[in-house]
């Protein structure tokens, strides 16, 4: 098992960016970490790390070796977790961050059932519309909208999602016709933005050029729930995630507009993802919560059954 220990130490050094940080994480002395790295390099006959008093960097061989062994360590950890789960109990503090609207509508309502299954877990739940640094802020699970770009993290898709334009029947009865995307220029658009730039809605459709159309109206906000409330009050057209308005659409309180077009603020990938650190030692509490969320989102967002005519 000495080889496996050396490989785990090497992975920790690369992941944490220094020998001292890896030593703290592994519960070893810096000298012991350095010895494991030297033993590994001697066994392989190549230098894996360039080390100076101020910085550490990977050699070409070191990068190739890290990419390969990281996957192996993850598989080993998964095998160990599969066995440990037969007797282990998820417990401890779980730090979760979520975008606000999906947190209010779907994450918080899941907590009671999850805690009933895992009473040893306590939650520190943060909800903002600003991105968080999962690693530096110690977040166990981050609920995000859209694709992941950070290679040090893992994203598990919880649900498909798309943006839809919606308005109340009363608003539409009094407003100009909306037949094409550029017709929004004649409407009150309830816009969502976090920066100070101009708000624009993007449209695309097969066989049509992609469009970016400025959107202005009676209200703008950085809070999705506020925009939804304004739309339900008939103040204008809102661009919302389909899951956030599905009940209102089904009840006839809101109408989906230009459904044949894809529409979004920036990118068109708006799926809901659980994001967590990439590690061969994923905590059992994290795995249990992500698995639970995956099941709950599938159940809650399953297509409504229709009764045959």
The CATH class for the domain spanning 163-264 reads: alpha beta
Instruction: Give all strands of the β-sheet with 211-214 in edge-to-edge order.
Output: 211-214, 200-204, 262-264
Say if residues 56 and 49 touch (Cβ distance below 8 Å).
yes
Q: What percent of the chain has pLDDT over 70?
A: 93
Residue 307 has pLDDT above 60, yes or no: no
Radius of gyration of the chain (CA): 25
Residue 86 has pLDDT above 70, yes or no: no
pLDDT tens for 167-201 read 999 999 999 999 999 999 999 999 987 664 568 89
2-84 fold: Arc Repressor Mutant, subunit A (1.10.10)
User: Which residues in the chain are classed under CATH 3.40.190.10?
Assistant: 92-152+274-300
Q: What percent of the chain has pLDDT over 90?
A: 47
User: Which residues in the chain are classed under CATH 3.40.190.290?
Assistant: 163-264
| Mean pLDDT of the region 78-91 | 73
pLDDT tens for 150-161 read 777 889 999 988
Q: Mean pLDDT of all residues in the chain? A: 87
User: Which residues in the chain are classed under CATH 1.10.10.10?
Assistant: 2-84
pLDDT value for 158 = 93
Cα end-to-end distance, the chain, whole Å: 65
Residue 85 has pLDDT above 70, yes or no: no
Domain 92-152+274-300: CATH superfamily is Periplasmic binding protein-like II (3.40.190.10)
Task: Give the separation between CA 185 and CA 178, rounded to whole angstroms.
Answer: 10
Who has greater pLDDT, 87 or 72? 72
Total-model pTM: 0.66
């Amino acid at each position: 098992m000495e080889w496996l220990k050396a490989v785990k130490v090497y992975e920790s050094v690369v992941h944490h960016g220094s020998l001292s940080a890896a030593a703290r994480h592994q519960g070893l002395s810096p000298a012991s970490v350095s010895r494991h790295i030297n033993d590994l390099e001697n066994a392989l006959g190549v230098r894996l790390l360039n080390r100076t008093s101020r910085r550490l960097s990977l050699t070409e061989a070191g990068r190739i070796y890290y990419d390969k062994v990281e996957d192996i360590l993850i598989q080993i950890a998964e095998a160990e977790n599969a066995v440990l789960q037969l007797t282990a109990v998820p417990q401890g503090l779980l730090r979760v961050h979520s975008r606000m609207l999906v947190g209010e509508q779907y994450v918080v309502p899941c907590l009671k059932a999850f805690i009933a299954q895992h009473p040893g877990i306590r939650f520190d739940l943060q909800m903002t519309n600003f991105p968080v640094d999962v690693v530096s802020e110690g977040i166990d699970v981050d609920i995000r909208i859209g694709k992941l770009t950070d290679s040090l993290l893992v994203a598990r898709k919880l649900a498909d999602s798309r943006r839809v334009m919606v308005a109340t029947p009363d608003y539409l009865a009094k407003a100009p016709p909306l037949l094409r995307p550029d017709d929004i220029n004649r409407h009150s658009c309830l816009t969502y933005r976090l920066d100070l730039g101009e708000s624009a809605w993007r449209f695309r459709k097969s066989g049509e050029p992609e469009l970016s159309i400025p959107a202005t109206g009676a209200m703008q906000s950085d809070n999705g729930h506020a925009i939804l409330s304004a739309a339900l009050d008939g103040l204008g057209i809102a661009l919302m995630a389909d899951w956030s308005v599905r009940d209102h659409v089904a009840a006839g309180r809101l109408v989906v507009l230009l459904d044949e077009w894809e529409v979004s603020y920036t990118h068109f990938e708006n799926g809901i993802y659980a994001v967590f650190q990439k590690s061969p030692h994923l905590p059992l509490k994290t795995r249990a919560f992500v698995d639970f969320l995956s099941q709950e989102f599938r159940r809650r967002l399953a297509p409504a059954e229709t009764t045959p005519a």
